Structure 1
Amino acid sequence: MRGDAFPCLTGGRTSRGPRGRGTQAQIHMEDESPPPQGVGVKVLEATLLSALKMLDVGKWPIFSLCSQEELKLIRQACVFGNAGNEVLYATENDEVFVLGMNCSGCLGTGDMQSTIEPRRLDTLCGKKIACLSYGSGPHVVLATEEGEVYTWGHNAYSQLGNGTTNHGFIPCQVSTNLVNKKVIEVACGSHHSMVLTSDGEVYTWGYNNSGQVGSGSTANQPIPRRVTNCLQNKIVVNIACGQMCSMAVVENGEVYVWGYNGNGQLGLGSSGNQPTPCRIAALQGIRVQRVACGYAHTLVLTDEGQIYAWGANSYGQLGTGNKSNQSYPTTVMVDKDRVTEIAACHSAHTSAAKTQSGQVYMWGQCRGQSVILPHLTHFACTDDVFACFATPAVMWRLLSVEPDDHLTVAQSLKKEFDNPETADLKVLVDGKYIHVHKVLLKIRCERFRSILNNDDEIIEMSEFSYPVYRAFLEYLYTDNIRLPPEDAIGLLDLATLYRENRLKKLCQQTIKQGICEENAIALLSAAVKYEAQDLEEFCFRFCINHLTVVTQTQGFAEMDHDLLKNFISKASRVGAFRN
């Protein structure tokens, strides 16, 4: 006799089999090596989710200070500072951490101590970050999804908007003139700040030596004030800052500029500073969607997917094929494809663009060299251009995980398992229905090809328990098995009966996770019964390694005579009973 003498080992047909101490597991079969013991389905699913949502931040050197475990949790990040030596990131549970040099207290930790270990910013934890920008001091301006604004860091020019010139060592909310306003976009110049509200208003504060806050004077502005003049009755939809200038795009596609203009970065055809907003007349009839500012150059993207550039060009950052500055908007030719994204950063002389087909181009300063025409890169996003080519290697925007609604074929099939809305067959087991699709069952399982008829709407299965049969049907949709190790013996029985060899291997892997001294003999019996040689060898080695305890269990005392005889013989051959 083999394992038939043990009622608990008759498989899923009559009972659940021996209970172990393992947790529910979902195994994906890539090879025959067993997965880590005790790994549960929720842990595996969380790991998979983290892998799918993990930001690719490895190109920025500062992230080498973080462990792999920390990197997997990051959902938003911004590398900033004069040398790319500071970083702020938010995790999947909305915790906010910082690390780096902490110049001028720009990490917001309450001091000026640099840190190579991530430090938590309690003030911002639990607040979902919508956007973030930074200056050269550096100072940081952040807006939450609720529309609140927080600032900290360098403040010698009142760029924090709190009415003082004292550095801010912790994030503090900016409320003056922003009460009941929801901020949806932020931008920083070298030492001035600008925000855009949901109702299309622009507020600025900070350094104003060149008129960059748009107030009409050159006096620094210690608190947020609305930019009016030509913008008084306009609804602004996008903002950007160069080192000492400011830009705004209004809803009809016009572009307004103000501030420093020594390199022609305002696009007005002159080099004189502009203390209040002025419309770029040269763009008349062109509908602009976005504006991006470099150190002293400007890019705009039109609704037709074209790029115009103007301003400083000493590194070829205008992409015109030469290094001559331009004070009027000039067309930038990026192949023949429509451009969907432009990128620039006020601390760099680098430009980038992404086309509708997903190609990424860069031009301007590239690791000290000059690229005077748009150059096709091997990157998939403009962010990588600044990580690898710009000086310093900072981020031009807050980098965030983008939701991906696309489902692969495998993901689509998994989603449709037990879906009554699309299923055309119900499998009745233990009085419960499992909704499936006949064509998939026929494709995936030879047994179903022989028993299913086209007019079947319900089939009843009584050979195995509901958990076992549900796990089997789910396996046909997912190539995974999801059930506790103690229930997997029933599925092993089914796999043996149905001649599903791959499923049989998966079951053995799952059962291994649930082995313990108390059930080792029962699992060994099951392995022998179902001719699962890999599992049998595993259980035998486990019994030998825990021989003293195993021989004292009830399972060993009730062991089938033939199985006991074979066990003792085999154990003797491997020297288990030697003193």
Structure 2
Amino acid sequence: MPVKDERGDLDVSKVVKPVFQSYFKDITATESAFQATLSSLKMLDVGKWPIFSLCSEAELQLVRQACVFGSASNELLYTTVNDEIFVLGTNCCGCLGLGDVQSTIEPRRLDSLSGKKIACLSYGSGPHIVLATTEGEVFTWGHNAYSQLGNGTTNAGLVPYHISTNLSNKQVIEVACGSYHSLVLTSDGEVFAWGYNNSGQVGSGSTANQPIPRRVTGCLQSKVVVNIACGQMCSMAVVNTGEVFVWGYNGNGQLGLGSSGNQPTPCRVAALQGIRVQRVACGYAHTLVLTDEGQVYAWGANSYGQLGTGNKSNQSYPTPVVVEKDRIIEIAACHSAHTSAAKTQGGHVYMWGQCRGQSVTLPHLTHFSSTDDVFACFATPAVTWRLLSVEPDDHLTVAESLKREFDNPNTADLKFLVDGKYIYVHKVLLKIRCEHFRSSLEDNEDDIVEMSEFSYPVYRAFLEYLYTDSISLSPEEAVGLLDLATFYRENRLKKLCQQTIKQGICEENAIALLSAAVKYEAQDLEEFCFRFCINHLTVVTQTSGFAEMDHDLLKNFISKASRVGAFKN
């Protein structure tokens, strides 16, 4: 039976095969040579995971997505630019999906899933795999002693099994695995669970194992779930109102309910009342959540400092994690480790918890640019906490080539003069990408256009967007870009601006952002800002922005707030 204690060893630790032991002993000696092989990879240095040293240079150049898993980080699945899936490793319990249990030190193609595009993937401790395609199909394989594959049996799954029971008309958009149970989230906000249930982790109300997917109901019956996560034997869901629901094992307080009793059905984390959560991440026996204000709360087991509180005392209530003053935009944890990580809006990556055998009790600033690197270099085992994305740099796509040409004076045939600075662009691209320029540049033979309506950072970000389809601008400056997008009727740009602005919202600027959203008819942003103001009503109403609020806007705000019950005792 799987252990409950957070320090317990998994019962699969003895399955590492001798052939792999010898290979992994030689990893350090070949490190420098291997890093040279990876010089053509960007976005992510897969070389930090030793198992990639078993791949040739040619194979590495084709990698697009990857997942490292297993009790000794000795299993690997990756996809290529041709949408082929390859696996290698010890193949414990048939977790490579090849139809056998033979280990392999050379990548073997997973033919049964050839051509399938992976949207998300998660793994359990057995290990077992749950994979969702971009079309919303779900496939499972590997260890199945507790029905965690959802195929109605307890037989090991040696090949990928397409789950159709109760999911045939559903599109799955997210998957999560605990030690021996599985969750999936559908596009309509429903959660389905199956597998090991000794502590209520499938949320059915009993402790009987669940052999096939069944919808998790109870408190989630009428809720729209937007994010899911699993600890070893617990489950979490974030709904679109920002509330967090939890169920399963709670011996270390990992459910955040203020107790240590197990919870067989979903229960709301009441201590987060008034706090709007965006994401949840689960470690072995601890939990992290990220709020709409960019703050992190943690609770659960803390014997390695994985809560980041400065001590090693477990916490059964949500506790703030202090990471300087910068806004957090990403949190990271995985159910097989006692490690936590976070990335700030400024690009800084912090880690805490069990790091290379040491206990780090406060967030520690790393030299990494990715939270993935934290788990590659410091977690035990060194597995991936999410599906990695790798992009080869030896061949530039059309989109990548266009990105490189933005603001390039050597190839440009037009330049904008904004605030005394030049921005170099190409007329033909502007005409192709923007209706405004299609008409304004039609008969314009000038090679310099002066622009005074918008600031340099805003106009540069707009022109760069036409080359890249993305914006790189602070949330504060994105308001100016929202104004431009509205003026030029660039609806997609308006959406991107709203997403960026949301990341910078706080009590002090919430009213100003709400005013901007109303002014520029940004309905999604308007609703987000309104909800934020309601959730932080006491502080927001004491700000100077609220005191100086436009009369009509104030009247509408009070009316709408009254309708949603904001002023009830």
Give TM-score, length-normalised by structure 1.
Answer: 0.63
SS at match of 1:289: strand
Deviations 1:503-560 (A, max 9, x none): xxxxxxxxxxxxxxxxxxxxxxxxxxxxxxxxxxxxxxxxxxxxxxxxxxxxxxxxxx
Deviations 1:412-463 (A, max 9, x none): 5687589663799xxxxxxxxxxxx9979xxxxxxxxxxxxxxxxxxxxxxx
Once residues 306 and 430 of structure 2 are traced to their aligned partners in structure 1, the CA distance between those partners, rounded to angstroms, is 57
Question: Percent identity among equivalent residues?
Answer: 80
Give the greater-gyration-radius structure (CA).
1
* Counterpart contact for 1:54–1:74, Cα < 8 Å: no
1:272, distance to aligned residue in structure 2 (A): 0.2
Relative to structure 1, the CA distance from residue 99 to residue 413 in structure 2 (aligned partners, 3 Å threshold; closer, same or farther) is farther
Deviations 1:97-116 (A, max 9, x none): 00001000000011000000
SS at match of 2:353: strand
Identify the residue that residue 286 of structure 1 maps to in structure 2. Answer: 275
Is residue 108 of structure 2 the alignment partner of residue 119 of structure 1?
yes
Once residues 81 and 411 of structure 2 are traced to their aligned partners in structure 1, the CA distance between those partners, rounded to angstroms, is 23
Once residues 71 and 125 of structure 1 are traced to their aligned partners in structure 2, the CA distance between those partners, rounded to angstroms, is 18
Specify which of 209, 221, 246 is matched with residue 220 of structure 1. 209
Is residue 106 of structure 2 the alignment partner of residue 99 of structure 1?
no
1:356, distance to aligned residue in structure 2 (A): 0.1
Once residues 142 and 206 of structure 1 are traced to their aligned partners in structure 2, the CA distance between those partners, rounded to angstroms, is 15
Relative to structure 1, the CA distance from residue 415 to residue 348 in structure 2 (aligned partners, 3 Å threshold; closer, same or farther) is farther
Specify which of 270, 292, 314 is matched with residue 303 of structure 2. 314
Once residues 164 and 211 of structure 2 are traced to their aligned partners in structure 1, the CA distance between those partners, rounded to angstroms, is 13
Is residue 185 of structure 2 the alignment partner of residue 199 of structure 1?
no
Once residues 429 and 202 of structure 2 are traced to their aligned partners in structure 1, the CA distance between those partners, rounded to angstroms, is 59
Specify which of 230, 233, 240 is matched with residue 229 of structure 2. 240
1:332, distance to aligned residue in structure 2 (A): 0.2
Task: Give the partner amino acid of 2:157.
Answer: G
Is residue 245 of structure 2 the alignment partner of residue 256 of structure 1?
yes
* Counterpart contact for 2:352–2:362, Cα < 8 Å: yes
1:245, distance to aligned residue in structure 2 (A): 0.1
Is residue 428 of structure 2 the alignment partner of residue 421 of structure 1?
yes
Once residues 145 and 413 of structure 1 are traced to their aligned partners in structure 2, the CA distance between those partners, rounded to angstroms, is 40
Specify which of 306, 318, 339 is matched with residue 350 of structure 1. 339
Identify the residue that residue 324 of structure 2 maps to in structure 1. Answer: 335
Task: Give the partner amino acid of 1:56.
Answer: D
* Counterpart contact for 1:132–1:398, Cα < 8 Å: yes
Is residue 254 of structure 2 the alignment partner of residue 265 of structure 1?
yes
Relative to structure 1, the CA distance from residue 413 to residue 76 in structure 2 (aligned partners, 3 Å threshold; closer, same or farther) is farther
Relative to structure 1, the CA distance from residue 65 to residue 160 in structure 2 (aligned partners, 3 Å threshold; closer, same or farther) is same
Task: Give the partner amino acid of 1:143.
Answer: A
SS at match of 1:205: strand
* Counterpart contact for 2:77–2:85, Cα < 8 Å: yes
Task: Give the partner amino acid of 2:372.
Answer: D
Deviations 1:468-493 (A, max 9, x none): xxxxxxxxxxxxxxxxxxxxxxxxxx
Once residues 337 and 401 of structure 1 are traced to their aligned partners in structure 2, the CA distance between those partners, rounded to angstroms, is 27
1:273, distance to aligned residue in structure 2 (A): 0.2
Task: Give the partner amino acid of 2:80.
Answer: T
Once residues 55 and 67 of structure 1 are traced to their aligned partners in structure 2, the CA distance between those partners, rounded to angstroms, is 17
Deviations 1:331-364 (A, max 9, x none): 0001110000000010000000000000000000
What are the within-5 Å matches in structure 2 for residues 16-55 of structure 1?
51=40, 55=44
1:172, distance to aligned residue in structure 2 (A): 1.2
Which structure has more relative contact order (CA 8 Å, sep 6+)? It is 1
* Counterpart contact for 1:54–1:72, Cα < 8 Å: no
Once residues 416 and 260 of structure 1 are traced to their aligned partners in structure 2, the CA distance between those partners, rounded to angstroms, is 61
* Counterpart contact for 1:53–1:75, Cα < 8 Å: no
Identify the residue that residue 515 of structure 2 maps to in structure 1. Answer: none
Identify the residue that residue 407 of structure 1 maps to in structure 2. Answer: 403
SS at match of 2:304: coil
1:407, distance to aligned residue in structure 2 (A): 2.7
Relative to structure 1, the CA distance from residue 320 to residue 208 in structure 2 (aligned partners, 3 Å threshold; closer, same or farther) is same
SS at match of 1:69: helix
* Counterpart contact for 2:329–2:344, Cα < 8 Å: yes
Once residues 248 and 52 of structure 1 are traced to their aligned partners in structure 2, the CA distance between those partners, rounded to angstroms, is 35
Deviations 1:297-335 (A, max 9, x none): 000000000000000000000000000000000000011
Task: Give the partner amino acid of 1:322.
Answer: N
Once residues 356 and 372 of structure 1 are traced to their aligned partners in structure 2, the CA distance between those partners, rounded to angstroms, is 22
Relative to structure 1, the CA distance from residue 412 to residue 179 in structure 2 (aligned partners, 3 Å threshold; closer, same or farther) is farther
Identify the residue that residue 61 of structure 2 maps to in structure 1. Answer: 72
Once residues 423 and 145 of structure 1 are traced to their aligned partners in structure 2, the CA distance between those partners, rounded to angstroms, is 32
Cα RMSD for the two superposed structures: 2.5
Relative to structure 1, the CA distance from residue 311 to residue 139 in structure 2 (aligned partners, 3 Å threshold; closer, same or farther) is same
Identify the residue that residue 536 of structure 1 maps to in structure 2. Answer: none
Specify which of 153, 157, 160 is matched with residue 164 of structure 1. 153
Task: Give the partner amino acid of 1:236.
Answer: V
Task: Give the partner amino acid of 1:84.
Answer: S
Relative to structure 1, the CA distance from residue 233 to residue 415 in structure 2 (aligned partners, 3 Å threshold; closer, same or farther) is farther
1:68, distance to aligned residue in structure 2 (A): 1.0
Identify the residue that residue 555 of structure 2 maps to in structure 1. Answer: none
* Counterpart contact for 2:342–2:349, Cα < 8 Å: yes
SS at match of 1:407: helix
* Counterpart contact for 2:41–2:390, Cα < 8 Å: no
Moved over 6 A (4+): 402-406, 417-420, 437-440
SS at match of 2:214: strand
Once residues 125 and 54 of structure 1 are traced to their aligned partners in structure 2, the CA distance between those partners, rounded to angstroms, is 25
Specify which of 69, 77, 100 is matched with residue 88 of structure 1. 77
Q: How many pairs were matched up? A: 381
* Counterpart contact for 1:308–1:331, Cα < 8 Å: yes
SS at match of 1:298: strand
1:53, distance to aligned residue in structure 2 (A): 5.5
* Counterpart contact for 2:413–2:447, Cα < 8 Å: no
Relative to structure 1, the CA distance from residue 323 to residue 67 in structure 2 (aligned partners, 3 Å threshold; closer, same or farther) is same
In structure 2, the gaps of 5 or more residues are 1-38, 392-396, 415-425, 432-444, 449-569
Give TM-score, length-normalised by structure 2.
Answer: 0.64
Task: Give the partner amino acid of 1:187.
Answer: A
Once residues 213 and 107 of structure 1 are traced to their aligned partners in structure 2, the CA distance between those partners, rounded to angstroms, is 25
